[in-house]
Amino acid sequence: MFTNAIPILTMLAKPANLPTILAIESSCDETSAAVIKNGKVLNNIIATQAIHTQYGGVVPELASRVHQQNIIPVVHQALHTAQVSKEELQAIAFTRGPGLLGSLLVGTSFAKAFAAALQIPLIDVNHMQAHILAHFINPPFPIFPFLCLTVSGGHTQLVVVKDYLQMEIIGETQDDAVGEAFDKAAKILGLPYPGGPLIDKYAQTGNPLAYQFGEVAMEGLNYSFSGIKTSFLYFVQRQSQQNPNFVSENLADICASMQHTLVQLLMKKLKRAAKEYKINHIAIAGGVAANSGLRKALHETAAKLNWQLYIPDFQYCTDNAGMIAIAAHYKYLAGEFCSQQVSPLPRMEF
Protein backbone atom coordinates (compact mmCIF):
# COMPACT_ATOMS: atom_id res chain seq x y z
CA MET A 1 0.00 0.00 0.00
CA PHE A 2 1.20 3.54 -0.75
CA THR A 3 1.63 5.22 2.60
CA ASN A 4 3.72 8.35 2.24
CA ALA A 5 2.41 11.82 2.87
CA ILE A 6 1.18 12.60 -0.66
CA PRO A 7 -2.62 12.49 -0.97
CA ILE A 8 -3.38 9.43 -3.11
CA LEU A 9 -6.58 10.75 -4.65
CA THR A 10 -4.85 13.88 -5.96
CA MET A 11 -2.17 11.74 -7.56
CA LEU A 12 -4.52 9.24 -9.12
CA ALA A 13 -6.99 11.84 -10.31
CA LYS A 14 -4.80 12.56 -13.37
CA PRO A 15 -6.31 12.37 -16.87
CA ALA A 16 -8.43 9.31 -17.61
CA ASN A 17 -5.77 7.85 -19.90
CA LEU A 18 -3.22 5.27 -18.86
CA PRO A 19 -0.28 6.21 -16.61
CA THR A 20 3.13 7.53 -17.62
CA ILE A 21 5.75 5.71 -15.55
CA LEU A 22 9.55 5.72 -15.39
CA ALA A 23 10.89 2.23 -14.59
CA ILE A 24 14.34 1.30 -13.32
CA GLU A 25 16.05 -2.09 -13.30
CA SER A 26 19.31 -2.67 -11.38
CA SER A 27 19.07 -6.17 -9.91
CA CYS A 28 22.32 -7.58 -11.31
CA ASP A 29 24.76 -6.14 -13.83
CA GLU A 30 22.55 -4.15 -16.24
CA THR A 31 21.52 -0.60 -15.41
CA SER A 32 18.33 0.03 -17.31
CA ALA A 33 15.53 2.59 -17.54
CA ALA A 34 12.35 2.68 -19.61
CA VAL A 35 9.28 4.88 -19.96
CA ILE A 36 5.77 3.52 -20.42
CA LYS A 37 2.97 5.81 -21.58
CA ASN A 38 -0.60 4.88 -22.51
CA GLY A 39 0.29 1.20 -22.12
CA LYS A 40 3.15 1.39 -24.63
CA VAL A 41 6.79 0.87 -23.62
CA LEU A 42 8.47 3.78 -25.41
CA ASN A 43 12.09 2.74 -24.95
CA ASN A 44 14.40 0.40 -23.11
CA ILE A 45 17.80 1.94 -22.35
CA ILE A 46 20.35 -0.60 -21.10
CA ALA A 47 23.92 0.03 -19.92
CA THR A 48 25.72 -3.32 -19.78
CA GLN A 49 28.65 -3.70 -17.38
CA ALA A 50 31.57 -5.10 -19.35
CA ILE A 51 33.88 -4.99 -16.32
CA HIS A 52 32.77 -8.43 -15.03
CA THR A 53 34.06 -10.32 -18.09
CA GLN A 54 37.64 -10.25 -16.80
CA TYR A 55 36.57 -11.84 -13.49
CA GLY A 56 34.57 -14.73 -15.01
CA GLY A 57 31.34 -13.68 -13.27
CA VAL A 58 29.50 -10.74 -11.74
CA VAL A 59 31.44 -9.11 -8.86
CA PRO A 60 28.67 -7.68 -6.63
CA GLU A 61 30.69 -4.76 -5.23
CA LEU A 62 31.79 -3.66 -8.71
CA ALA A 63 28.25 -4.05 -10.06
CA SER A 64 26.88 -1.72 -7.43
CA ARG A 65 29.55 0.91 -8.10
CA VAL A 66 28.95 0.85 -11.85
CA HIS A 67 25.19 1.16 -11.27
CA GLN A 68 25.90 4.36 -9.35
CA GLN A 69 27.84 5.75 -12.31
CA ASN A 70 25.25 4.67 -14.88
CA ILE A 71 21.93 5.39 -13.27
CA ILE A 72 21.63 9.12 -13.92
CA PRO A 73 22.75 9.01 -17.58
CA VAL A 74 20.51 6.01 -18.25
CA VAL A 75 17.44 7.66 -16.69
CA HIS A 76 18.22 10.91 -18.48
CA GLN A 77 18.43 9.10 -21.81
CA ALA A 78 15.18 7.24 -21.16
CA LEU A 79 13.26 10.46 -20.47
CA HIS A 80 14.96 12.31 -23.31
CA THR A 81 14.37 9.69 -26.02
CA ALA A 82 10.76 9.16 -24.85
CA GLN A 83 10.27 12.94 -25.02
CA VAL A 84 8.64 12.81 -21.62
CA SER A 85 9.41 15.47 -19.03
CA LYS A 86 9.77 14.49 -15.39
CA GLU A 87 6.68 16.59 -14.59
CA GLU A 88 4.60 14.26 -16.79
CA LEU A 89 5.55 11.18 -14.77
CA GLN A 90 2.81 9.70 -12.62
CA ALA A 91 4.88 7.06 -10.82
CA ILE A 92 8.42 5.73 -10.48
CA ALA A 93 8.88 1.96 -10.59
CA PHE A 94 11.92 -0.06 -9.59
CA THR A 95 13.08 -3.64 -9.15
CA ARG A 96 12.82 -4.49 -5.45
CA GLY A 97 14.19 -8.03 -5.80
CA PRO A 98 15.30 -10.73 -6.15
CA GLY A 99 18.86 -9.74 -7.00
CA LEU A 100 22.16 -8.54 -5.56
CA LEU A 101 21.63 -6.32 -2.52
CA GLY A 102 24.18 -3.66 -3.48
CA SER A 103 22.81 -3.46 -7.03
CA LEU A 104 19.18 -3.32 -5.89
CA LEU A 105 20.02 -0.58 -3.40
CA VAL A 106 21.15 1.77 -6.17
CA GLY A 107 17.89 1.49 -8.16
CA THR A 108 15.73 1.53 -5.04
CA SER A 109 17.42 4.60 -3.53
CA PHE A 110 17.31 6.47 -6.82
CA ALA A 111 13.62 5.64 -7.37
CA LYS A 112 12.69 6.68 -3.83
CA ALA A 113 14.54 9.98 -4.08
CA PHE A 114 13.10 10.78 -7.52
CA ALA A 115 9.53 9.91 -6.48
CA ALA A 116 9.85 11.98 -3.30
CA ALA A 117 11.20 14.97 -5.22
CA LEU A 118 8.39 14.76 -7.80
CA GLN A 119 5.77 13.92 -5.16
CA ILE A 120 4.50 10.91 -7.07
CA PRO A 121 3.96 7.30 -5.98
CA LEU A 122 6.47 4.50 -6.00
CA ILE A 123 5.86 1.03 -7.45
CA ASP A 124 8.01 -1.91 -6.35
CA VAL A 125 8.33 -4.69 -8.91
CA ASN A 126 9.34 -8.33 -8.52
CA HIS A 127 12.05 -9.03 -11.12
CA MET A 128 10.84 -12.58 -11.84
CA GLN A 129 7.23 -11.50 -12.34
CA ALA A 130 8.49 -8.75 -14.62
CA HIS A 131 10.37 -11.30 -16.78
CA ILE A 132 6.99 -13.00 -17.32
CA LEU A 133 5.04 -9.78 -17.90
CA ALA A 134 7.53 -8.83 -20.64
CA HIS A 135 5.16 -10.89 -22.81
CA PHE A 136 2.66 -8.03 -22.61
CA ILE A 137 4.99 -5.41 -24.12
CA ASN A 138 4.37 -6.44 -27.72
CA PRO A 139 1.65 -8.66 -29.23
CA PRO A 140 0.80 -11.50 -29.53
CA PHE A 141 -0.16 -11.44 -25.85
CA PRO A 142 -0.52 -14.77 -24.03
CA ILE A 143 -3.98 -15.87 -22.94
CA PHE A 144 -4.57 -16.62 -19.25
CA PRO A 145 -3.93 -19.08 -17.75
CA PHE A 146 -0.58 -19.79 -19.37
CA LEU A 147 2.50 -21.66 -18.26
CA CYS A 148 5.80 -19.80 -18.21
CA LEU A 149 9.26 -21.34 -18.03
CA THR A 150 11.48 -18.59 -16.61
CA VAL A 151 15.13 -19.35 -17.23
CA SER A 152 17.85 -16.91 -16.22
CA GLY A 153 21.28 -16.74 -14.62
CA GLY A 154 19.69 -16.71 -11.18
CA HIS A 155 16.44 -18.64 -11.55
CA THR A 156 14.72 -21.57 -13.20
CA GLN A 157 11.01 -21.59 -12.50
CA LEU A 158 7.81 -23.08 -13.86
CA VAL A 159 4.99 -20.64 -13.21
CA VAL A 160 1.25 -20.83 -13.80
CA VAL A 161 0.22 -17.29 -14.75
CA LYS A 162 -3.44 -16.80 -13.87
CA ASP A 163 -3.60 -13.05 -14.36
CA TYR A 164 -1.20 -10.08 -14.68
CA LEU A 165 -0.48 -10.05 -10.96
CA GLN A 166 -1.57 -13.54 -9.99
CA MET A 167 1.09 -16.18 -10.47
CA GLU A 168 1.96 -19.50 -8.84
CA ILE A 169 5.37 -21.19 -8.89
CA ILE A 170 4.75 -24.91 -9.49
CA GLY A 171 8.38 -25.99 -9.90
CA GLU A 172 11.85 -24.51 -9.53
CA THR A 173 15.50 -25.39 -9.28
CA GLN A 174 16.67 -26.77 -5.97
CA ASP A 175 20.28 -25.65 -6.57
CA ASP A 176 21.86 -23.90 -9.60
CA ALA A 177 19.87 -21.99 -12.21
CA VAL A 178 20.09 -23.25 -15.78
CA GLY A 179 21.85 -20.03 -16.90
CA GLU A 180 24.44 -20.68 -14.21
CA ALA A 181 24.92 -24.22 -15.57
CA PHE A 182 25.51 -22.77 -19.06
CA ASP A 183 27.94 -20.18 -17.66
CA LYS A 184 29.83 -22.66 -15.48
CA ALA A 185 30.15 -25.15 -18.34
CA ALA A 186 31.57 -22.32 -20.47
CA LYS A 187 34.03 -21.41 -17.73
CA ILE A 188 35.22 -25.04 -17.53
CA LEU A 189 35.86 -24.84 -21.29
CA GLY A 190 37.88 -21.63 -20.81
CA LEU A 191 35.24 -19.37 -22.41
CA PRO A 192 34.66 -15.83 -21.06
CA TYR A 193 31.66 -14.74 -18.96
CA PRO A 194 28.76 -14.84 -19.66
CA GLY A 195 29.37 -18.11 -21.48
CA GLY A 196 25.75 -19.10 -22.21
CA PRO A 197 25.58 -17.28 -25.56
CA LEU A 198 29.00 -18.73 -26.55
CA ILE A 199 27.92 -22.30 -25.79
CA ASP A 200 24.91 -21.56 -28.01
CA LYS A 201 27.16 -20.19 -30.76
CA TYR A 202 29.62 -23.11 -30.82
CA ALA A 203 26.76 -25.63 -30.49
CA GLN A 204 25.43 -24.55 -33.90
CA THR A 205 27.95 -26.70 -35.76
CA GLY A 206 28.29 -29.54 -33.25
CA ASN A 207 26.69 -32.94 -32.76
CA PRO A 208 24.28 -32.81 -29.81
CA LEU A 209 24.53 -36.55 -29.29
CA ALA A 210 28.36 -36.74 -29.33
CA TYR A 211 28.72 -36.98 -25.53
CA GLN A 212 26.55 -37.81 -22.58
CA PHE A 213 26.78 -36.47 -19.05
CA GLY A 214 25.21 -37.93 -15.91
CA GLU A 215 21.96 -36.27 -14.87
CA VAL A 216 20.37 -35.97 -11.46
CA ALA A 217 16.73 -37.02 -11.40
CA MET A 218 14.50 -34.59 -9.51
CA GLU A 219 11.08 -35.37 -8.10
CA GLY A 220 7.95 -33.63 -9.36
CA LEU A 221 8.27 -30.42 -11.31
CA ASN A 222 11.48 -29.22 -9.66
CA TYR A 223 14.86 -28.94 -11.35
CA SER A 224 18.47 -29.63 -10.35
CA PHE A 225 21.48 -28.51 -12.36
CA SER A 226 24.43 -28.82 -9.97
CA GLY A 227 24.94 -32.58 -10.63
CA ILE A 228 25.17 -32.14 -14.37
CA LYS A 229 27.70 -29.34 -13.91
CA THR A 230 29.92 -31.58 -11.75
CA SER A 231 29.71 -34.51 -14.13
CA PHE A 232 30.56 -32.15 -17.01
CA LEU A 233 33.64 -30.96 -15.10
CA TYR A 234 34.84 -34.55 -14.45
CA PHE A 235 34.17 -35.48 -18.08
CA VAL A 236 36.28 -32.58 -19.41
CA GLN A 237 39.08 -33.27 -16.91
CA ARG A 238 39.16 -36.99 -17.77
CA GLN A 239 39.21 -36.40 -21.51
CA SER A 240 41.83 -33.64 -21.23
CA GLN A 241 44.17 -35.96 -19.30
CA GLN A 242 44.10 -38.36 -22.25
CA ASN A 243 44.29 -35.61 -24.87
CA PRO A 244 45.39 -32.10 -23.78
CA ASN A 245 43.76 -30.67 -26.93
CA PHE A 246 40.43 -32.40 -26.32
CA VAL A 247 38.50 -29.16 -25.70
CA SER A 248 39.88 -27.17 -28.61
CA GLU A 249 39.54 -30.11 -31.03
CA ASN A 250 35.95 -30.91 -30.02
CA LEU A 251 34.52 -27.60 -28.84
CA ALA A 252 31.44 -27.62 -31.09
CA ASP A 253 30.46 -31.20 -30.14
CA ILE A 254 31.03 -30.56 -26.42
CA CYS A 255 28.92 -27.37 -26.50
CA ALA A 256 26.17 -29.00 -28.58
CA SER A 257 26.02 -32.00 -26.21
CA MET A 258 25.90 -29.87 -23.07
CA GLN A 259 23.27 -27.57 -24.55
CA HIS A 260 21.22 -30.57 -25.65
CA THR A 261 21.38 -32.09 -22.15
CA LEU A 262 20.30 -28.85 -20.43
CA VAL A 263 17.51 -28.20 -22.94
CA GLN A 264 16.19 -31.76 -22.58
CA LEU A 265 16.08 -31.33 -18.79
CA LEU A 266 14.12 -28.08 -19.18
CA MET A 267 11.71 -29.57 -21.71
CA LYS A 268 11.00 -32.73 -19.68
CA LYS A 269 9.48 -30.83 -16.73
CA LEU A 270 7.80 -28.25 -18.96
CA LYS A 271 5.97 -31.02 -20.86
CA ARG A 272 5.02 -32.70 -17.60
CA ALA A 273 3.68 -29.42 -16.16
CA ALA A 274 1.66 -28.66 -19.30
CA LYS A 275 0.09 -32.12 -19.10
CA GLU A 276 -0.59 -32.02 -15.35
CA TYR A 277 -2.12 -28.54 -15.43
CA LYS A 278 -3.82 -29.08 -18.80
CA ILE A 279 -2.43 -25.83 -20.19
CA ASN A 280 -1.33 -25.50 -23.80
CA HIS A 281 -0.48 -21.78 -23.84
CA ILE A 282 3.25 -21.90 -23.14
CA ALA A 283 5.66 -18.98 -22.68
CA ILE A 284 9.36 -18.66 -21.95
CA ALA A 285 11.13 -15.78 -20.26
CA GLY A 286 14.57 -14.80 -18.95
CA GLY A 287 18.04 -14.64 -20.50
CA VAL A 288 18.25 -18.34 -21.43
CA ALA A 289 15.06 -17.87 -23.52
CA ALA A 290 17.51 -16.50 -26.09
CA ASN A 291 19.05 -19.96 -26.49
CA SER A 292 18.54 -21.29 -30.01
CA GLY A 293 18.50 -24.94 -28.91
CA LEU A 294 15.72 -24.25 -26.42
CA ARG A 295 13.73 -22.28 -29.00
CA LYS A 296 14.07 -25.11 -31.51
CA ALA A 297 12.97 -27.73 -28.96
CA LEU A 298 10.01 -25.55 -28.00
CA HIS A 299 8.89 -25.12 -31.59
CA GLU A 300 9.19 -28.86 -32.27
CA THR A 301 7.24 -29.77 -29.14
CA ALA A 302 4.63 -27.08 -29.81
CA ALA A 303 3.98 -28.56 -33.24
CA LYS A 304 3.66 -32.07 -31.77
CA LEU A 305 1.54 -31.24 -28.72
CA ASN A 306 -0.49 -28.42 -30.21
CA TRP A 307 0.95 -25.75 -27.90
CA GLN A 308 0.45 -22.07 -28.54
CA LEU A 309 3.95 -20.70 -27.96
CA TYR A 310 4.98 -17.20 -26.78
CA ILE A 311 8.63 -16.10 -26.99
CA PRO A 312 9.43 -12.45 -26.19
CA ASP A 313 11.62 -10.20 -28.35
CA PHE A 314 15.30 -10.76 -27.62
CA GLN A 315 15.77 -7.34 -25.94
CA TYR A 316 13.03 -8.26 -23.43
CA CYS A 317 14.49 -11.72 -22.62
CA THR A 318 17.58 -10.53 -20.76
CA ASP A 319 17.43 -8.03 -17.88
CA ASN A 320 15.78 -4.79 -18.95
CA ALA A 321 13.60 -1.99 -17.59
CA GLY A 322 10.93 -2.43 -20.28
CA MET A 323 9.65 -5.44 -18.37
CA ILE A 324 9.68 -3.46 -15.10
CA ALA A 325 7.66 -0.74 -16.86
CA ILE A 326 4.94 -3.10 -18.10
CA ALA A 327 4.71 -4.78 -14.66
CA ALA A 328 4.44 -1.33 -13.05
CA HIS A 329 1.71 -0.38 -15.50
CA TYR A 330 -0.49 -3.25 -14.28
CA LYS A 331 0.38 -2.57 -10.64
CA TYR A 332 -0.59 1.07 -11.10
CA LEU A 333 -3.94 0.06 -12.59
CA ALA A 334 -4.48 -2.31 -9.65
CA GLY A 335 -3.59 0.50 -7.21
CA GLU A 336 -0.56 -1.39 -5.86
CA PHE A 337 1.97 1.17 -4.65
CA CYS A 338 4.65 0.98 -1.97
CA SER A 339 5.81 3.28 0.78
CA GLN A 340 8.87 5.52 0.89
CA GLN A 341 10.13 3.24 3.69
CA VAL A 342 10.52 0.33 1.24
CA SER A 343 13.86 -1.53 1.15
CA PRO A 344 15.24 -4.02 -1.40
CA LEU A 345 14.60 -7.74 -0.97
CA PRO A 346 17.48 -9.82 -2.42
CA ARG A 347 15.38 -12.99 -1.99
CA MET A 348 12.01 -11.48 -2.85
CA GLU A 349 9.29 -14.06 -3.47
CA PHE A 350 6.08 -13.77 -5.49
Binding residues for ligand KG4 (CB under 6 A): 28, 152-154, 179, 182-183, 194, 196-197, 200, 286-288, 290-291, 318-319
Determine which residue in the list 90, 152, 291, 320 makes contact with Zn ion, applying CB under 5 A: 152
Rg (CA), the chain: 21
Residue 126 binds Zn ion (CB under 5 A)? no
Q: Could you give the 3-state DSSP secondary structure of residue 283?
A: strand
Q: Which is nearer to ligand KG4, 121 or 194 (CB)?
A: 194
Q: Which is nearer to ligand KG4, 28 or 147 (CB)?
A: 28
User: One-letter amino acid identity for 184?
Assistant: K
User: One-letter amino acid identity for 337?
Assistant: F
- Using CA atoms of 70, 72, 76, 77 in order, give the dihedral in degrees to the nearest 10: 0
Mention every residue, 6+ apart, whose C-beta is less than 8 A from residue 25.
31, 32, 33, 34, 94, 95, 107, 127, 130, 319, 320, 321, 323, 324
Identify residues 305-324 at the interface with Zn ion (CB under 5 A): 319
* Distance (Å, whole) CA 110 – CA 124: 13
171 binds, among ligand KG4, Zn ion, none (CB under 5 to 8 A by kind): none
CB-side exposure of 254: number of CA atoms within 13 Å?
Answer: 24
CB of 320: closest distance to ligand KG4 in angstroms? 8
Q: Which is nearer to ligand KG4, 200 or 253 (CB)?
A: 200
CB of 319: closest distance to Zn ion in angstroms? 4
196 binds, among Zn ion, ligand KG4, none (CB under 5 to 8 A by kind): ligand KG4
Q: Which is nearer to ligand KG4, 287 or 312 (CB)?
A: 287
183 binds, among ligand KG4, Zn ion, none (CB under 5 to 8 A by kind): ligand KG4
Residue 190 buriedness (CB in 10 A; 0-12 / 13-18 / 19+): exposed
29 binds, among Zn ion, ligand KG4, none (CB under 5 to 8 A by kind): none
Could you give the angle at the alpha carbon of 213 between the alpha carbons of 212 and 217, nearest 5°? 120
197 binds, among ligand KG4, Zn ion, none (CB under 5 to 8 A by kind): ligand KG4
Q: Which is nearer to ligand KG4, 250 or 318 (CB)?
A: 318
Helix H segments across 142-210?
178-188, 196-203
318 binds, among ligand KG4, Zn ion, none (CB under 5 to 8 A by kind): ligand KG4
Output b/e per residue, 272-297; b: 16+ Cβ within 10 A: ebbeeeebebbbbbbbbbbbebbbeb
Q: Which is nearer to Zn ion, 90 or 152 (CB)?
A: 152
* Interface contacts to Zn ion, rule CB under 5 A: 152, 319
